[in-house]
Amino acid sequence: MEQNNFKNEMVDNSLFNKENNVLVWLDFDAYSYVNFGIIKALSKKENFNFFGIMTSKQDVSFFENQQLIQFKKLIYFPDCYKNKSLLDLNKLKRMEKKYNLNLWLDIFSERSLYKYSTYSHKFTREEILSIVDKSLDFIIKILEDSRP
């Protein structure tokens, strides 16, 4: 299994064979394990290339070391936006138009960015937009490359 420290690269295109690719969102807590159980059952039906996107640091060790599913690649999602503060508002506007998005509506519904969140860190407008900008770049790239 190849692990990814994500640094400045996005996703290595050579890993995707354009067939039977399954992206698995391994969200925090029980959600990641529910999705893991689903792909475990799915793996018994057919041979798939599983690409896991983890959102919680506490789950990384489990998914990297488990022996039940052979992931083609595991990616720790926050690496795509952490410590990357460049922001292109015009690009975000173009993305909203191109993909018919209402980013602020999505931002307000995100539990960790919501202004009444109980998380200890309160994000600034610029931090939020930077996270959204880098996250969109990541998601679009991985969807275009993998064609799940």
Instruction: Let me know: does 133 contact 92? Beta carbons within 8 Å.
Output: yes
Residue owning tokens 């109980």: 118
Task: Say whether pLDDT at 15 is over 60.
Answer: no
Task: Say whether pLDDT at 8 is over 50.
Answer: no
Instruction: Let me know: does 137 contact 87? Beta carbons within 8 Å.
Output: no
Q: Where are the alpha helices (DSSP H) in 1-148?
A: 30-43, 57-65, 89-98, 103-109, 125-146
Query: In percent, how much of the chain has pLDDT > 90?
Result: 28
Residue-wise pLDDT for 85-138, tens only, equals 778 889 899 989 998 988 888 887 776 666 655 566 777 888 888 888 888 888
